[in-house]
A and B are shown apart, each in its own frame.
Chain A
Amino acid sequence: MSEPAPAIVVRDLVKRFGAFAAVDHVSLSVARGEVFGFLGPNGCGKSTTIRMICGLLGPTSGSIEVAGLDVRTHAEQIRARVGYVAQFFNLYRDLTVYENLTFYGGVYGVPRAELRSRVEHWCERLDLSRYGRVLSGELSTGVQRSLALAAAVLHEPAVLLLDEPTSGVDPIARRAFFDVIGELADGGTSILVTTHVMDEADRCGRLALMDRGKLVAEGTPSEIRAMGGTDIWQVSADPPSRALTLAEQHPGVDAPALFGTRLQFRVSDGTTAVAVAQWLRDQGVTCDEPRPVRATIEHAFLQLLRRDDGDNE
């Protein structure tokens, strides 16, 4: 099987607002049918990048190609092939679900004969049918996000750009949302999705981590997890907050963090997890034997951002 041309190619993209570089020499490419996860803290430049790919913002320098077309010269043709779900609910609140969908179908030039069946299909698939005649401003956040997705896919775009599509959505709805995203990708749609939610990141084919305008890591979820390091240990401790305070003071303990009553930490500089646990007990904390923990994307995320901090100091 020959490698198909990538759906999105971003090369050396820069966006400055005055002296501030919101996007600082970012390059990435999204293959056809791929779900590409875009991670990073708030304000790291993800949304700015997505808006430049949509043609909503002009880049300061660098190039963007979508479906083989340059954004600078073919903005309108690209817009017809891209679906966009913005970070905030931007549909018309005084229009019903059906009215909104009919409107966006019309604006994207979906043939009238097909529009009706597509609206029905997506309302069915995204569980919107029962809200058809409800004003979209009166819907809950989760339903609004589904509506925004439906509006973005009616014209069957080749590329789907989702900017935190599941913020404010409960875990069950989020899972259903990602099921739909998976189906779209299987159908050949290329998807770029930004998220904060780590289990969503796990469902992406590839991930990029962005921080302060720069890409700091890129790879498959397992490659990213591997960047989280291996020496992660966990103990159940009581009282947990005291255990955390103590662990922070212990030489050779890295990135201690509490998860309920469980304390996780890394060790380096010759110390061992067993030694740390013994020291905690010596200080009057009840704690069990340390067990190794498999690194998650969240570990990698924290680890990579921390390392980046160190570089900048």
Chain B
Amino acid sequence: MRRTRAIARKEWIHILRDKRSLAAVLTLPVVLVLLYGYAVNFDLNALSFALVDDDHSAASRHLAENLSGVRPFVFKGTLANAAEADSVFQRGIARVVVVVPAGFERLLDSGRPSPVQVLVDGSEGTIATIAQTYTVGAISTLGRTLTKAQAQGRGISKRLLEPAIDVRVRVLYNPDLLSRMFLVPGLIGIILMMLAALLTSGIIVRERESGTFELLAASPIGPMELLVGKMLPYLIIGAADVVVAVGMGWAVFGVEPKGSLLLLFALSLVYVLASSAIGLFFSCVARSQQTAMMMAFVATVIPTMILSGFAFPVRNIPLVLQGLSQMLPATHYIAIARGIILKGIGLGPIWWHGLALALLTVFWMRLALRKFSKTL
């Protein structure tokens, strides 16, 4: 205990004395939350479309005007014919081209279904899907009002045109379906993991590089005392980063934690501990700081981006990789953070994620201890 304290105090002095690194460690979460929060966005804020109007009728103009008025559609102009759609997509002027064929108004007036063609730029899959859904939805809605107007004009009862089932959707937890509500908790997870793992990846190998390890190795300090003592100060830094990252998500993106802040903080600390243990392991294995950092980066940040559920649901991942994703602390933390921040849940539904984090900490610590050697 006495020795662990001595190590922790010394490490803390190192941290405080290296002002530039300290400043970087505390401002990095701010920068990263801003950067990712604004850059990583799956929402379609502007959907540019062009029109090919072969009908030149009041109904076709009405359709175009109304579509322009619907968010997020932005009208980019009228094309002479459908063949021009290619060049419009290639130059990136519009994502969608709506083709109104000749005879559109006539069919509408006769009360029969009037076809409208929607061309979608499919080169960006995710956005194309969203654009397609938006466009089809918007045109169908407009179609109904157009039909209604036509019908009323001809004295047909309004009731006959009402759909039999009126579906009303209410989205819980993220009513506006903003992707940042979904992304910010994951982002906090990735930032905490990155900082914790990269910081601790240096702590043993740095002493090997500077030669100070020789005196440590000649002292009677035990491996456990040394590793625990060295990690403690970084837990404090990690705790500060938790506050900064959650606070940024709240202040800048309005992602207000709905659940217990205390629970969120406590489980975040376990997560920081698990991430630090991974960094520590690579610090014991590597022979240079750069190698340790690269190894920690490759082992944490890269799989975390893909497998942790940060962007893609874990259930969509092939079964073999799902096993791997359960080995990533971030997978569990992101589930915890989304649960507490968005749904406001208590420990009940997420306790096993907390347990998994604790087990992962023990696993990586044991691995680090096994690889740690006091010989030069």
Contact = CB atoms under 8 A, between A and B. Distances in A.
A107 B214 CA distance: 14
Interface string B3-23: 101110110011001100000
Given A57-B375, A90-B211, A108 B220 contact: yes
A94 interface: yes
Contacts of B212: 90-92
Interface residues of A, number: 31
Nearest to B1: A109
B13 A99 contact: yes
A86 B7 CA distance: 20
B3 A107 contact: yes
B5 to A, nearest CB: 7
Given A91-B215, A92-B212, A94-B17, A103 B220 contact: no
A308 interface: no
Contact of B6 (A58, A91, A107): A107
Interface stretch (A1-9, A75-83, A168-176, A227-235): A75-83
B13 to A, nearest CB: 6
Given A92-B14, A95-B13, A80 B220 contact: yes
A90 B3 contact: no
Given A76-B220, A109-B3, A86 B10 contact: no
Nearest to A77: B220
B218 A94 contact: no
Nearest to B7: A107
Contacts of A103: 6, 9-10
Contacts of B215: 84, 86, 90-91, 104, 151
Nearest to A88: B211
Residue of B3, B6, B18 with most partner-chain A CB within 10 A: B6
Interface in A125-182: 151
Given A56-B218, A90-B215, A91-B215, A106 B18 contact: no
Given A51-B376, A90-B212, A94-B17, A109 B218 contact: no
A29 to B, nearest CB: 21
B10 A92 contact: yes
A72 B223 CA distance: 17
Contacts, number: 76
A55 interface: yes
A135 B212 CA distance: 15
Contact of B219 (A57, A77, A107, A112): A107
Contacts of A76: 220, 222
Residue of A80, A108, A151 with most partner-chain B CB within 10 A: A108
A56 B376 contact: yes
Interface string B354-376: 00000000000000000000111
A88 B222 CA distance: 24
Contacts of A277: none
Nearest to A110: B2
A80 B3 CA distance: 12
A94 B14 contact: yes
Contacts of A105: 6
A54 interface: yes
B221 interface: yes
A147 B218 CA distance: 17
Given A79-B220, A106-B6, A94 B18 contact: yes
Contacts of B375: 56-58
Contacts of A91: 212, 215
Interface string A52-81: 001111100000000000000000110110
B127 interface: no
Given A90-B212, A94-B18, 11 more contacts: A51-B376, A90-B211, A90-B215, A91-B212, A94-B13, A104-B215, A106-B2, A106-B3, A106-B5, A108-B220, A112-B2
Query: Nearest 8 CB-CB pairs, A to B?
Result: A106-B6, A80-B220, A79-B220, A84-B218, A103-B10, A54-B218, A107-B219, A90-B211
23 contacts: A54-B218, A56-B375, A76-B220, A77-B220, A79-B218, A79-B219, A79-B220, A90-B212, A91-B215, A92-B14, A93-B210, A95-B10, A95-B13, A95-B17, A102-B9, A104-B215, A105-B6, A106-B2, A106-B5, A107-B216, A107-B220, A108-B220, A109-B220
